[in-house]
Amino acid sequence: MELQLTGRRVLVTGGTRGIGRAIVEGFLDEGALVGYCSRSADDVAATEAALAGRGTTVGTCLDVGDAEALGQWVHDSAQRFGGLDIVVANVSALAIPDTDENWETSLRVDLMHTVRLVKAALPHLERSDAACIVAISSVSGRESDFASGPYGVAKTAIVGYIHGLAIQLAGKGIRAVTVSPGNTYFKGGVWAGIERDDPALYEMAVGLNPTGHMGRPEDIAAPVVFVASPRAGRISGANILVDGALTRGIQL
């Protein structure tokens, strides 16, 4: 299926590793122009080298928790690409333990970077004929689990925020969708660390999934790229679970 993404202009926060990196690669494979960011200049440089020749992509070093820097990145990217069609709010602080610092970090990074990305991008998205906002939440935003607390609450808030946006922006032709991954394993990721440091928790998490294994970043990226594409033009306001049947609640 041709996703009609050739030449579309895309921004992805946190695009140098894990799910974010897979999303960047997925859009590139469909012919999109992709800007991405990361806090690490070394990671940006390594990703630029790895993706050289694969398509048009621009990496930027910034902290999405810095509202001014985030807004400037969106503005500069729109100037460079001649507009924006799609934004993907992917970054998470992964601040799970229940501490005051983690509450503040989760709200500032997970939730507010999503809000600020959307606000900065809206003037550009309004000029697109196929605009879409995608936010990455989590199954922890859908059900209570071991990550309930700062992380889970922020992810739940993202689902509510995006659903409201879908209604508010429908008349402008802008779609808004949430994608909620289940446990996703990649080298250097949170589950690789848990496997090393808390093997009992890791085995418990694997055992909860009917597939018997965790997902991979590319498993999440594929539906993100599809729902962002013009082919998914009637999908808006949805929270799409990509979890291998992990969650037990029936989503009505």
Catalytic center residues: 137-138, 151, 155
Strand partners, 48: none
- Measured distance between the N- and C-terminal CA atoms of the chain, rounded to whole angstroms: 29
Cα separation values, 94 from 68, 109, 188, Å: 22, 9, 13
Q: Are the C-beta atoms of 14 and 38 separated by less than 8 Å?
A: yes
Reduced to 3 states, what is the DSSP secondary structure of residue 4? coil
- What sign does the CA torsion over 186, 22, 139, 182 have? negative
* Integer Cα distance of 210 and 214 in angstroms: 10
Between 41-51 and 18-29, two packed helices, what is the crossing angle to 10 degrees? 30
